[in-house]
Amino acid sequence: MILLARQLLDSQKILEAMLRRLPSTHNEYMHVCDRLRRVKAGLAGEQRVNAEWLELDLPSPHYFLHDFQTMNDFGSTHQMDTIFLCPHFLLILEIKNITGILSYDASFAQLTRTTMDGTVEGMTDPFLQLERHVAWMKRVLQRERFHLPIVHAVVLATRNGILTKGFEGQPIFHVTGLRASIQRWTEIYQPIETENLLPFAKRLLSMHTRLKKEVTVPLKEMMKGVVCPHCANGQPLMYHYKKWTCPRCGLVDYNALNRTLEDYRILVGPQLTNRSFREFFAIESPNRAYKLLQQLPLKVEGEKRHRKYWIMD
């Protein structure tokens, strides 16, 4: 049973909105492209592992919490790709979708990837991250007076990631190894009473909070306006006779206003004023802005000058 399903990641939405509004000459542009590529690779890896779960004969009952996010008592964050609970154990899974030849040096806490063209790249130590998560989970179990063995593993979602030296004895395997590991843990750990499992899983779910992702480029450096989704580099649409039209490619865009509002929500936040609307949508006339605001699904608060608008979910 999936208690917490994976959603389209906030970070992906933010990065895509940033790319729509960053000039391609901006010094962060390539960096944002690269981050978006990594986020997408991560998501593809998670989907690959999810497909593997469906093939397995799992102990019953069992519960999944995907992309679990929380903040610990010290104010730092935890983001776990998958938590799997069954009567035998609790598994914390870190999913990696990294291609290339991988090696690991535990004494330096260093994971290195060598790509096909020979480029060597350092990466964050996934085992240290997992140990942090395990320590947090142990504290939660203690606090809830609940006993369940914790196991953890890094799963490599692609066959094109080749594990070489340094990984001996580390909890890491390719996605196809999930079956054997689940079987082994099921044999090692005796099952607990099943009726306590769901309440604990729900308790964990109540600790899930979606962590806020920051927009890393100042808004003033992004392109404003209602822009054409087909033409590159922020080609503005013209508003004539209640229609948004692109003077370059001729597109008539009936969704222009809502799409721009979504960019505003992602990059600025859920609240607007007539002024902030005019700035982001690049509209000079307060009167025209007022009329356009009436067309949007917004909740109005306050009167006249002090009027605020909230974007509804």
Rule CB under 5 A: which residues touch Zn ion?
Answer: 228, 230-231, 246, 248-249, 251
- Least distance CB 225 / Zn ion (angstroms): 13
114: amino acid identity, one letter: T
- Which lies closer to Zn ion via its Cβ, residue 120 or residue 252? 252
Element (H, E) at 43: helix 29-54
- Least distance CB 156 / Zn ion (angstroms): 42
- Least distance CB 289 / Zn ion (angstroms): 23
244: amino acid identity, one letter: W
Return the beta strands (E) in 191-304 as ranges.
Answer: 238-240, 243-245, 271-272, 298-301
- Which lies closer to Zn ion via its Cβ, residue 65 or residue 228? 228
- Which lies closer to Zn ion via its Cβ, residue 62 or residue 224? 224
Q: What is the rounded CA–CA span in Å between residue 175 and residue 48?
A: 8
- Least distance CB 260 / Zn ion (angstroms): 14
- Least distance CB 231 / Zn ion (angstroms): 3
- Which lies closer to Zn ion via its Cβ, residue 246 or residue 298? 246
Query: What is the 8-class DSSP label of residue 209?
Result: -
Say what the alpha-carbon torsion angle 255, 260, 262, 268 is, to the nearest 10 degrees.
-170
- Least distance CB 216 / Zn ion (angstroms): 28
- Which lies closer to Zn ion via its Cβ, residue 106 or residue 251? 251
Q: What is the rounded CA–CA span in Å between residue 4 and residue 1?
A: 9
- Least distance CB 210 / Zn ion (angstroms): 34
- Which lies closer to Zn ion via its Cβ, residue 4 or residue 237? 237
Q: What is the rounded CA–CA span in Å between residue 105 and residue 107?
A: 6
- Which lies closer to Zn ion via its Cβ, residue 98 or residue 228? 228
> What is the full DSSP assignment across 75-103?
S-EEEEEEEEE-SS-EEEEEEE---EEEE
Is residue 13 within 8 A of residue 266, CB to CB? The reply is yes
Is residue 235 within 8 A of residue 228, CB to CB? The reply is yes
Query: What is the 8-class DSSP label of residue 211?
Result: P
Q: What is the rounded CA–CA span in Å between residue 294 and residue 237?
A: 19
